[in-house]
A = this chain, B = another copy of it.
Amino acid sequence: MYAPHVASRRVAIVTNPVVAPFYLERLTASLQRAGAQATPILIADGEPAKDWSTLDHVFDELLAARYGRDAVICALGGGVVGDLAGFAAAVYQRGIAFLQVPTTLLAQVDSSVGGKTAINHPRGKNMIGAFHQPLAVVSDIATLDSLPERELAAGLAEVIKHGLVLDASFIDWLEQNLEALRRREHAALAFAVRRCCELKAKVVAADEREAGLRAILNFGHTFGHAIEASAGYGTWLHGEAVAAGMMMASELSLRLGLASPQEVMRVRQLLLRAGLPVQGPAISPQSLLEWMRVDKKAGGGRMRFVLLCGLGAAQMRADLPEEAVIEVIRDCSARP
């Protein structure tokens, strides 16, 4: 599996102290059997680690060990490790090869696919980054056995998102199999991971640089990023913030006559059954709006929203009345 990509190359495995005890030894052995020379680079766990100082630590280790342009960076972990290690690979010596070995549901269904890499900036999430496609994404469903409950739920948020914006029949399937997913039945997880990768790959192949279509994968993310940023990165998991954001975006779709009350209720039920929040934090709508304005999806200063058109389809809108957005935030936020 690894040999075509790493044979006789040096591989730096970027991982963290939470993931390493479970999988580092096994991955190192696999890479060595494939003919690679593999060494780990450890970074801190959690979203706050997705910053410049962690990235610089990776560069420092790579340079100290004299990794050249023919080296490979391998991300072993969740979305934070994948995003940061991928960005390191994108800009180290102007770009070296990159392998994704995602160990969280969120990374397996979403962040490891599509080549988006980034670090956060104090002024906004994923503000500094690059498009850099991995050589391969190797997802082992068994790694999800060790995933904390809360992170499994956060991953389900992105699973549900893929259904909502792209595939009505996958939503039907999720409504029937959500408990199997939460029980971590491997067959159900394998189906969901495969289906999400297929759906996402099709979108990314059509629009890698997010000139248009790909933006629908940001459903719930304009609100979600603002929730994450306003609360301080790491307080809300990305998937949790996206869940609350999808609820807001669904309510907005309802108000604009693009989705029915029944459809919005199905979104809400799915999120609740997945153990996800359907409300944002106790913050004033105006404050959240401020955080949203700096979001990079803002084109020419206008805020854009992905809205549902029923279930399984979505569209991008930039012409929304601010009052509607404010009302939706108010209705979907915890009371201060």
Pairwise interchain contact B296-A68, C-beta atoms closer than 8 A: yes
> Copies per complex?
2
**Chain B min CB distance to A93 (Å):** 4
Which stretch in A40-48, A116-124, A184-192, A243-251 binds the other chain? A116-124
Query: Which residues of chain B are within 8 angstroms of A297 by Cβ–Cβ distance?
Result: 69
Q: A69-B296, A94-B118, A94-B131 are in contact. List 11 more A-B contacts (CB 8 A).
A: A60-B121, A63-B121, A66-B293, A68-B300, A68-B301, A69-B299, A90-B130, A93-B296, A94-B126, A94-B130, A130-B130
Query: Which residues of chain B are within 8 angstroms of A116 by Cβ–Cβ distance?
Result: 94
Q: Give the total of A residues in contact with B, Cβ under 8 Å.
A: 37
Instruction: Indicate whether A170 reaches chain B with its CB closer than 8 angstroms.
Output: no
Q: Return the chain B residue nearest A115 by Cβ.
A: B94
A242-280 interface (Cβ within 8 A of B) = none
Instruction: Indicate whether A282 reaches chain B with its CB closer than 8 angstroms.
Output: no
Instruction: Indicate whether A95 reaches chain B with its CB closer than 8 angstroms.
Output: yes
**Chain B min CB distance to A210 (Å):** 8
A50-91 interface (Cβ within 8 A of B) = 52, 56, 59-60, 63-64, 66, 68-70, 87, 90-91
A interface, CB within 8 angstroms of B = 52, 56, 59-60, 63-64, 66, 68-70, 87, 90-95, 116, 118, 121, 123-124, 126-131, 209, 293-294, 296-301
Pairwise interchain contact A94-B300, C-beta atoms closer than 8 A: no
Pairwise interchain contact A128-B68, C-beta atoms closer than 8 A: no
Pairwise interchain contact A66-B130, C-beta atoms closer than 8 A: no
Pairwise interchain contact A299-B121, C-beta atoms closer than 8 A: no
Query: Which residues of chain B are within 8 angstroms of A93 by Cβ–Cβ distance?
Result: 127-129, 296
Pairwise interchain contact B63-A124, C-beta atoms closer than 8 A: yes
Query: Which residues of chain B are within 8 angstroms of A124 by Cβ–Cβ distance?
Result: 63
